[in-house]
Every structure is written in structure tokens, then in C-alpha cells.
Structure 1
Amino acid sequence: MLKMMKAYTNATVLDGLGNTYERAVVLIDSEKIIGVGEHISVPADADVIDCEERFVTPGIIDVHTHLGVHESGVGVEGQDFNETSQPLTPHIRALDAINPREQGFQDARECGVTTVQVMPGSANVIGGEMVVLKTAGHVVDEMVIRNPSGMKGAFGENPKRVYSGKQVSPMTRMGVAALMRETFMKAQDYREKKARGEVKERDLGMEQLLPVLERKIPLRTHAHRADDILTAIRISREFDIELTVEHCTEGHLIPEQVAAAGVHVSVGPTMSTRSKVELADKGFHTLVALDEHEVPVSITTDHPVIGIEYLITSAVNAVKAGLSEETALRAITSQAARHIGVDDRVGSLEEGKDADLVVWTKHPFDAYTDVVETVVNGETVFRREM
């Protein structure tokens, strides 16, 4: 069925890049944006949606979630995010465990989140591949926009706690780092043998680590404490791999070092409780300190640690702590898209980008705002009766 051209008119448009357009038009045709601005001609055959006194933004992005692999309200039957049979599981893929029908995806659409990165949990030193997908759909393969989008790594308390309880390595931070180094050394050896035609039997884990060594996908590392962040940076330099730091809770203690490393950072779930020692100094001040040192920052809920419906609330709290509104919005739109490597398709309202957008009753950071409509790939996937 052909999709009708749509024109969202008379809106205050925040394009995700720092530009604001008053009484503007967002014009979409099929699955793409074909025009944004204050002087866009609306074709006579377009379906016109009057957004008088309303705001339009790009679809919101959460860069670090466990949607579909850690199902909301289901219990152990829906917990498929940590394969704790061994501390090294580069061979697993989050894609294979995502249930797109779980409630979290509907929650995402209702709060304007249109793109998410779904990753394995942080129990393992190397946890497997992650994937970026849209939040609308019933067949996960049709929702994917980048696969794989990274390899999960983890430092600190989580792998220590899981495997010390099993009385196997790693039991210390030294053990975590050693296992990660050892695994990447084996992957380097595997790559060299493969290049010489000497690999007789393929190894799925090694095969999935090769794109990391070749800098095709980043190592995305769970690291809260400052020393763990620095260990992650150290290992990324040793093996010349691209790195993103996930959580970065104590990043405000070492902003110069994080900036010098040239890494992208996602911060959160800052609205959570201090459930473990390495969260003792958590706060939205981390985002402010990193931004002051020009570190590219995104904001995450780590859903379901914090419900994905509180991604906007997290951005508002960051603004209250001193982050600019412009930076906070980019942290859940255009910069978030760059963090997960899909900024060619989503994250901003620009000609040629995917037609993912949100209509709000007020500014998205207003405490009284509501999502009126969420659009993914040009189709309305949520509409609130007003």
C-alpha cells in the first residue's frame, strides 16, 4: 500500500542539531523526510497535520537498553540478557533473544523513543554482540538498522560478583582485565592464522571479535568507577580498538583523560538508586563535567534498570544540573545516533533521514508535556487521544 505524503505544519520544530524553527513544516514522503523549515511548500495532495502550539522533534534514542532481552514484569522466563555459563561469551548475539512484543517496546513508543540499542548484560567480561533497531514492528529482523552495532565488555563489580560466587576467574579487577587481554590476543592470533589459511575449524567467538579488531564495530564497555574507565581506555589503546564507555559514573573525576581518549560516552541510569558501591558518586553532574571537556555524551536509562519512559526525565534532570537544553536534547537525538553509528539515518530532522518524529503538546522538557504522536518510518505507531 502506498503511503501518503504527510505535512506537519505550524509547529515549533527542534531539529536535534541545535536549530529551532517557528511555525515550521516537516514534510515526509513514504519513509523519508523530504523537507524541514519555515518556508516549505506543502503539496496539495499531502495529508496535513496541524501542529499549532505544539513541538516536533526527531524520534528519541536510547543508546543502552535491554529491551526485549530483559522483559518487563515477566520474571525469569523473560530474562535472556546474561549468559552466565562462562565469563567470555563473544559468540552470543542479543538479536537472538529479543522479543519485540514485550511491553517495553510499547512503553518506548508511547514516550517518543523510536530507536534503541539492545545489548547483553554486564555479567561477563565479554558479553556478545549488540544491535540497533526501531521500536516499532513484530519481526525483529525487520526492525534492525545496524547489526552488529558493537561488542559488549564489562569491568568492575558485576563480573567479579557473578564469577567469585562460582569460585572461578575473574574474582578481581586484575582478573577481569587479564581475561579481556587474553581473549583479544587469541583473536589476533586467530586473525593471523585465518589470513594464512591455517584455520581448519572456525570459532564463532573469534569470528565475532574480528570486526572489533578491524575497527568495524566498537567495544562498548560497562565501566562505572574511574579506575575501570581508565583500564578500558588502556586496553583499547593496547589493541587499537574503538571504544565507547557505557555508564561512566565517575567520569567527572577524570574528564581530561576521557576527553584525551577520544571516546563517546553514555551516562546513566542516573535516576537509579545507589545499589552498589561503584554508584556512590553517581549524579547528573557527570554529564556536565564531561560536556565541559567536550566529551560527546549520550543519556541512557539502561532499561529496565530505569524504565525507558524516564529517558526524557533524565534529560530534564541533566538540564537542572547545568547541562544546556541543546546538549541534553542532542544527547537523546543526534549525538545518541552518532554514539551507536546510525546518524546517517536517524537522530535529526533533515532531508533524506528516516521519517521518525515525535509531536509534543509542549517543549519536550516541560514537566507537563505529553506525546501526541510517535512516527516511525513515516507511520504513526502511537497517537494519544487529546
Structure 2
Amino acid sequence: MLFIKDGRLLTMEGKVYEKASILVRDGKIQEIGEELVAPLDAEVIDAKGRIITPGLIDAHCHLGLWEDAIGFEGADGNEATDPVTPHMRAIDGINPMDRTFEEARQGGITTVASGPGSANVIGGQFAAVKTWGRRIDDMILQAPIAMKCAFGENPKRVYHDRKQSPSTRMATAAILRDTLYRAKEYAEKLEAAKEDPTKKPGYDMKMEALLPVIRKEIPLKAHAHRADDIFTAIRIAKELDVKITLEHCTEGHLIVEELKQEGLYAVVGPSLSERSKYELKNLTFETAGILSNAGIKIAIMTDHPVIPLQYLPMCAALAVKAGMDETEALKAITIYAAEILGIDHRVGSIREGKDADLVIWQGHPFELQSTVEYTIINGSIVYKK
């Protein structure tokens, strides 16, 4: 049992407590209040003069799939030998004992959506995992959480070098369209087999992996930087009637009215990086604020290891500097990230009944010189300054 007393609580639930306490029991937030008294058997943390936030969430990264300070031996994020690999599972490639997990906890990040990169048209399954543990099976919050697909330069560059399709944006779209159509047919045959077992199709691992997408249980996590690629992603999602979230959305600020009409979520970033390719020519920290100010729900990402995960609050702070509302920016790395991922019933805010994922700060999270004093995951202190 853990009792955190007298902190300033930024709950992300629309309420700020200037001085309140939190009782944690069995890994969950049991009680929040201004007049709580610590049980005699509780471990007590005095948070007077400190700020308490929910654990931070990165809605798009590759934590544990590109290991720290290693080359090929630790690069497990892109199976770049086949443009269609929906059966790849992030949990089979993540190394939770990589040093970057410890650095994430030191930075107050408690949950991430981690998964394959963007070499392939369909890269594989993202998972939502906590950043504390030694065995990935014990860290999973939800897997799969989304299916990665990619538009634009990355797939065409990878397969052009191999002299195979896709070498154009047309081919990327065609391959994705064809694969989703075949997955729909596979799902229909499975449904028909409930009445007539002779119609059951032969087992297909790729199609099986796509069933949650076809059934709209998880979204396509669509890597798209340029405006035309964003529109292609939306077009295909509508044609195939699947859910989609817009990842990176680098030129989203150029098409804000169209995106507002679509009513989709966007995971914006990484903005603290160089313009390493043509489709990033309009990269700016203003994107997050422009989309948010237009009423579009967004999360802010690091795309770790592009930006080291512990700098997630700095990315949000720079979005504020570029015009984003401060509270909305903090929500973009807490409750909005959780809502976009579909895990807000567990994490993303300080509320009774939710996972006790909490961060105690000396200073506001967006101040450069602020430090994390405690990171708590599932009610356990996993980092103490």
C-alpha cells in the first residue's frame, strides 16, 4: 500500500487539486482526496510542493526494437524482406532489459505503444506496454493495439533498392488495398464455415493477423507524413471500412480543415528531428497546436529512437512554445494518448480505479530544469531520484 500526500494533482480529468493525497492499493488508485489520512501500514511519500501527474504515454515509438548502442544485433523493428508482414508481433522483438526502458522511467514515461517501423506496406502489430519489467509478457497492457501500415517514401525506398514492388506510391496503395480485400474474403469464409465447415479456408497466418483490423477491433496505424499520403490513407480506410489513426501527420497543418471534417485522431511527431527526407520539408512544431486548436484530438510522439523517449515532455513543451495550449499539450502525452490507443480505462489520468501509474515532479513537466522525483507503475516505485 502506498500513500502520496499533499501534492498538487494534475488529474487530466478536468480537475486540479492544489493539495491532495492519493491512496494506492493492489496496483490501483483507491482513493483521492484533500482530507485523507494515511493508513498505519502504508508507505508514505510526502509530495508537498511537488506536482503529481499521470504516468506519461507515448502513443507511437519503437522502444526495445532498436536497442541502445548496438547496430544490426539489436535492430529488430523492420522485417524488410516482404512488403506485407502483418503477422510480425512487436512483443516478439522488444527487449525490455534494454537501457532505454530505464531512461523512459527516469523521464516519467510509464506506457508506450511500441511496434514495427515503416519499411513495409504492412509492418506488423503494435503493442501497448508498461515500461517496467523484465519479461514482456508481464508488461503488456494490450496486444495487439494497432496494425502498422506505411505510406510515402519509406516502403518505396526500401523495395526500390531491391528492384521489387512497391517502388511507387501507387504500388504501396495497391498492395495495401489488395491485402485488405483478401483479408475481408478470408473473414467472410470463416463466417460461412460456421454454418458449413467445408467452406473453412486453409490457415493463413497473415490473414489471421489482419482479422482484428477487418473486424474494426484495432485500427491501422498509418505512417503518413505528406498531405497526399494522408489523403490516400483515409481513402483506403473508407474503401475497406476499417479504423485508422494518422501517424506523424507532418503536413497536417496544411490540410487542417479537411482533417477536421474527417473526425480522425492524429499522433504528431517526431518534431524534434532533422528534415532527413523530402516528405519532411514542412516539419514544424506548429502542427500539433494548429490541429489541436482546430478541435482535432492529437497525441504527441517521440518515434523513439528518433527522439529518445525521455524527451517526450520536452516535445510537448516545444509544441506549447509554438502555439499549443499547455493543458492540451499535457493531455496529448497522457489522457489523449490513452484515448487514441483505446486504453484510457486503465491509464492516462488520475482517477479512482485506474492503474496507479503516477509521476511526482519537482517543477512543471514542461520546464527544462524540472526533474522526476518518483515514477510509480502499477503502484510500485520503479524510479526514485
Separation (CA, whole Å) in 2 of partners of 1:292 and 1:112: 26
Cα distance in 2 between the residues matched to 1:381 and 1:364? 18
Q: What is the CA-CA distance between 1:260 and the residue it aligns to?
A: 1.9
CA distance in structure 2 between the partners assigned to 1:17 and 1:281 by the alignment: 34
Deviation at 1:269, TM superposition (A): 0.7
Cα distance between partner residues in 1 of 2:155 and 2:378: 38
User: Deviation digits for residues 145-171 of structure 1, max 9, x if unmatched?
Assistant: 101101000000000100011111111
Contact 1:248–1:265 (CA<8 Å) still a contact in 2?
A: yes
Correspondences of 1:200-239 after superposition (within 5 Å): 200-239=201-240
Q: Following the alignment from structure 1 to structure 2, what is the Cα–Cα distance between the partners of residues 375 and 292? A: 32
Alpha-carbon distance, 1:95 to partner = 1.0
Which residue does the alignment assign to 2:83?
87
C-alpha distance in 1 between matches for 2:313 and 2:133? 22
In structure 1, distance between residues paired with 2:14 and 2:366: 15
Percent identity reads: 49
Counterparts of 2:110 and 2:9, CA distance in 1: 17
Shift of residue 324, structure 1, vs aligned partner:
1.0
CA distance, structure 2, for counterparts of residue 213 and residue 262 of structure 1: 20
Taking the aligned partners of 1:369 and 1:33, their CA distance within structure 2 comes to 25
Cα distance in 2, alignment partners of residues 325 and 200 from structure 1: 52
Which residue pairs with 2:48 in the alignment?
A: 52
C-alpha displacement at 1:46, in angstroms? 2.5
Whether the 8 Å contact between 2:151 and 2:223 is mirrored in structure 1 is yes
* Number of the residue aligned with 1:343: 344
- Following the alignment from structure 1 to structure 2, what is the Cα–Cα distance between the partners of residues 25 and 226? 46
Amino acid at match of 2:33: G
Distance in 1 of aligned mates of 2:310 and 2:327: 20
Structure 2: how far apart are the matches of 1:256 and 1:281?
A: 17
CA positional deviation for 1:283:
1.0
Q: SS of 2:124's equivalent?
A: strand
1:10 alignment partner, one of 6, 9, 14: 6
**Alignment match, 2:196:** none
Task: Please list, as runs of the form range in 1=range in 2, the aligned pairs for 1:4-83 lying within 5 A after superposition.
Answer: 5-83=1-79
1:49 Cα deviation (Å)? 1.2
Across the two proteins, how many residue pairs are aligned to each other? 380
Structure 2 CA distance, aligned partners of 1:94 and 1:309?
20
Aligned amino acid, residue 114 of structure 1: T
Deviations along 1:265-310, one digit per CA (max 9) or x if unpaired, are: 1001100100011111111111111112211100000000000011
- The alignment status of 1:193 with 2:189, answered yes or no, reads yes
* Structure 2 partner of 1:328: 329
Given residue 154 of structure 2, which amino acid in structure 1 is its aligned partner? N
* Structure 1 residue 43, shift from structure 2 partner: 2.8
How large is the RMSD of aligned CA atoms in angstroms?
1.0
TM superposition shift of 1:325: 1.1
Question: Aligned equivalents of 1:335 and 1:157: distance in 2?
Answer: 28
Superposed counterparts of 1:288-327, under 5 Å: 288-327=289-328
CA contact (8 A) 2:290 2:323 kept: no
Q: CA deviation at 1:10?
A: 1.4
**After the TM superposition, which of the residue ranges 31-40 and 209-218 deviates more from structure 2?**
31-40
Distance (whole Å) between structure 1 residues aligned to residue 217 and residue 237 of structure 2: 14
CA deviation map 1:28-76 (0-9, x unaligned): 1120001223233433433221111111110000111111111111111
CA contact under 8 A between 1:93 and 1:130: conserved in structure 2?
A: yes
Counterpart of 1:120 in structure 2 is: 116
Q: Which amino acid aligns with 1:264?
A: Y
Query: Contact between 2:5 and 2:21, CA under 8 Å: does it hold in 1?
Result: yes
Q: For the residues of structure 1 that align with 2:48 and 2:145, how far apart are their CA atoms?
A: 38
* 1:350 partner SS: coil
Alignment match, 1:365? 366
Structure 1: tracts of 5 or more residues without a match: none
**2:343 partner letter:** V
Q: How does 1:210-289 map to 2 (within 5 A)?
A: 210-289=211-290
List, as ranges, runs of 4+ consecutive aligned residues in structure 1 with deviation greater than 4 Å: none
1:166 paired to 2:187: no
Contact 1:17 1:330 in 2 (8 A): no
Indicate the residue corresponding to 2:378 in structure 1.
377
1:174 is paired with a residue of what secondary structure? Answer: helix
Cα distance in 2 for residues equivalent to 1:192 and 1:374: 47
* Secondary structure, aligned partner of 1:182: helix
- 1:133 matches 2:129: yes
Retained in 2: the 8 A contact 1:18–1:326? no
Offset at residue 368 of structure 1 (A): 1.5
What TM-score do you get using the length of structure 2 for normalisation? Answer: 0.97
- C-alpha distance in 2, partners of 1:165/1:199? 39
Q: Tell me which amino acid in the other structure corresponds to 2:31.
A: G
2: CA distance, partners of 1:73 / 1:17: 39
Residues 331-357 of structure 1: CA distance to partner in whole angstroms, max 9, x if unpaired? Answer: 000001111111000000000000110
Shift of 1:200: 4.0
The code of the aligned residue for 1:81 comes to G
